[in-house]
Amino acid sequence: MGWNKKFVFLSAVRIILKSNCFFCFNMFKLIFRYLFCCTNRNIYGEIALKHKTTAWNVYRLAHGKKVRSLRDGSIHRELFRQGIIN
């Protein structure tokens, strides 16, 4: 018998909202926006395959994560070329 995904998701939401952890709540908001509100997810996936990383990492770079490696820099340049970031 498998886990009910809706139940697990709602339980996690309740725990995060009840906790006073600012980091947990912000991370939840970021993941929620990526999963349900992101219109460029397919582009992030293509860039991720090209640079051998995850679409989540590309999304975070596009939304303000610091560039800390050469790979991140090349992803950042690619996002700029595609017109996703300014």
51 and 77, same domain (yes or no): yes
Looking at the fold, whether 12 and 22 belong to one and the same domain comes out as yes
Q: Would you give the distance in Å from CA 71 to the centre of its chain?
A: 17
- Given pLDDT bands bounded at 50, 70 and 90, which one contains residue 13? confident
57 and 28 share one domain:
no
Question: Which tokens is 60 given?
Answer: 């975070």
pLDDT, residue 3, reads: 59
The model's pLDDT over 35-63, given as tens digits with 9 standing for 90+, comes to: 888 889 999 999 999 999 999 999 999 99
Full residue range of the structural domain in which residue 59 is found: 39-86
The span from the CA of 47 to the CA of 50, in Å, is 5
Q: Do 7 and 31 belong to one domain?
A: yes
Residue 6 sits in the same domain as residue 22? yes
CA torsion through residues 47, 50, 51, 53, sign: positive
Q: Answer yes or no: is pLDDT of 5 > 70.
A: no
Total domains in the chain come to 2
How far apart are the C-alpha atoms of 44 and 79, rounded to whole Å? 9
In Å, how far are 22, 75, 77, 79, 81 from 55, measured between CA atoms? 24, 11, 15, 12, 17
